[in-house]
Structure 1
Amino acid sequence: MKVSVNQHLVTYQIEGERNPGENRVLLASSVDLTAGTTWANTGYVVAPFLAPAEQQQLQEGLAELVREALRSAGVPVAADFPVSEYHRAVGDDQARHLAVVNTTKEYTLDHLPVPTALLEARVGELCGRPVQAYNPFDDARIFHLRIVRPGRSDNNPLHRDVWLPDYDNCVNIYVPVAGSTADSSLTLIPGSHWWPENQTERTQQGAVYNGITYTVPGVKGAPEPLELIRPNPETKEVLLFSPYLLHGGAVNLNEAATRISLEMRFWQA
């Protein structure tokens, strides 16, 4: 399948049983937390996030979580180790990388370096309604850190989060922690949260992408090349986006920096 990322053509292959998709817009029968906002049509916004001191505390605390995960996986790193150099510490040792990811893929909210209420308040302001970091589907109160090494197959396939049933009715945030640039940050397709399911072809179950099996289904094809962009929030900003948007599916093109980001979801309070 061919896609363009910031107008550069990229080809990638997804394996998995084909799901033809229905002529149905998933968001039309769901809670749309973008409704009534200035960014409702695109499905995403990049905006200032926390106050400077709180933002710094958040990012420094999250970086320390990555260092702790490295140490737990048997990689001794110093207290001032720059986590953007994660790939140098782990290298091509996939087993060790997966040991780190096993820790960073899910944290309870008491591991957040700042009070959860600060994030809930700011996301609520951007959505124009109260939200909470609580998933009513499974009672989860969690966040995770995404680690994507340069030139490796650490990124997930192009997908909608809501192809998994426990991510309905929410909004997502992407907050840069390290190495998030115009060549590495999250990719998405503006406006695709209102696309019918049959506008793209996806896998029936989890996708196999670059030889790695993912729980979420992945986009397998489309009649026309899909045009992705990288909104590329700065370190003081947040990317807030609908989980109904097609996103993911692009590698970290940094030459020498691992991309690490906070990813978290919010539901209507």
Structure 2
Amino acid sequence: MTQPDPAPQDSPLRRLHVAGQPVAYQVEGAPAVGLPDAVLLASDEDLSARAPWAAAGFAVVPGLPAGAQAQLQAGLAELLREALRGAGCAVAPDFDISQYHHAIGDDAGRHLAVIAQTKVYDLARLPVPPAVLEALVSAACGQPVRAFNPNVNEAVFHLRIVRPHRADQNPLHRDAWLPRYRHALNIYLPVAGSTAQSALALVPGSHHWPESAVERTAGGAIFHGVPYTVPGVLRPARPLHLIRPNPGPDEVLVFSPYLLHGAAANLNPDATRVSLEMRFWRA
């Protein structure tokens, strides 16, 4: 049975239970003060409101049709191989990207050089037409959406790379703590190494928690010594029930960016987790 992390008293979290497994958790940063009792999503556009999964804030749905998902995954794998070569790693055309951590080894500089290439791509480089993913997410949430961010006038996607037993994951956070990611919906699509031991973790229903329910950093958090732009959770005021929905290779996780998510260490014995992350706004 999954054991929630208790609401702490005077000290920050030092570990989380993710799907019942203990995970080290170390966030640093000045705490935000005067957090309101209001629910952030109550004053923003809730693209999950019409969905049958509105209360939970997420759903695992069937992926793209007629081989398009496999085409997408293969194309994204090639983008990662391209990034590895750009960082000086001579990988073969059929290199298994779940073995990324072996190609990089302990070379932090090369890993950062790969991340610099993969953290954001122009939507034109997506291996399938963006419209097919827009149609999938529109059907999942019951209203038309598009992969264009009106907050900053950009259309992009991201590759997330989380090596096994390394602190590559984000701290526990809401994307919507960054104004550019408000009013949106997110997807997590497995590309390689995404399992019950490594998939994205989230707290069901937390998109309806008031801001005062979660003590967080005022600005970008330092998570296991790595600086992030997004604030990170320091202390929850209520127990956390982190789960890994774990979509299969032919599925997609759709979720609200107002959910608490992240902090999910890759506990695979020997496989890097690679996933596609995209955001969608009202069309």
TM-score range, shorter chain: over 0.9
Deviations 1:38-82 (A, max 9, x none): 100000000101014111100000000000000000001000000
Q: Distance in 1 between matches of 2:233 and 2:57?
A: 18
Equivalent of residue 192 in structure 2, options 178, 196, 206: 178
Residue 170 of structure 2 corresponds to residue 156 of structure 1: yes
Deviation at 1:12, TM superposition (A): 1.5
Letter in 1 for 2:233: V
* Percent identity of paired positions between Structure 1 and Structure 2: 59
Q: Are the equivalent residues in 1 in contact too, given 2:158–2:277 (CA < 8 A)? A: yes
Name which of 14, 17, 22 aligns with 1:4. Answer: 17
8 A contact 2:174–2:261 mirrored in 1: yes
TM-score (norm 1): 0.98
Picking from 241, 248, 252, the partner of 2:262 is 248
1:68 match: 82
Distance in 2 of aligned mates of 1:24 and 1:4 = 27
Trace 1:49-60 onto structure 2 (pairs within 5 A).
49-60=63-74
In the alignment, which residue of structure 1 is the partner of 2:242?
Answer: 228
Helix, strand or coil: the match of 1:226? coil
Give the residue type in structure 1 aligned to 2:123. Answer: L
Q: Is the 8 A contact 1:30 1:168 kept in 2?
A: yes
Output the TM-score relative to the length of structure 2.
Answer: 0.93
RMSD over aligned Cα atoms: 0.9
Partner letter of residue 74 of structure 2? E
Distance in 2 between the 1:232 and 1:253 partners? 13
Deviation at 1:182, TM superposition (A): 0.2
1:129 aligns with 2:150: no
User: What displacement does 1:197 show?
Assistant: 0.5
* Contact kept in structure 2, 1:158 and 1:219, CA below 8 Å: yes
Indicate which of 177, 185, 192 corresponds to 2:206: 192
Instruction: Give unpaired runs (5+ residues) of structure 1.
Output: none
Residue matched to 2:28 = 15
1:140 equivalent in alignment to 2:154: yes
Distance 1:240 1:36 in 2: 14
Please state how far the C-alpha of 1:227 moved relative to its aligned partner.
1.5
Q: 2:88 and 2:190 mapped to 1: Cα distance?
A: 25
In the alignment, the residues of structure 2 paired with residue 7 and residue 248 of structure 1 have an alpha-carbon distance, to the nearest angstrom, of: 15
Aligned residue-pair number: 269
Cross-structure match for 2:279: 265
| Aligned amino acid, residue 195 of structure 2 | T
| C-alpha contact (below 8 Å) 1:160/1:243 kept by paired residues | yes
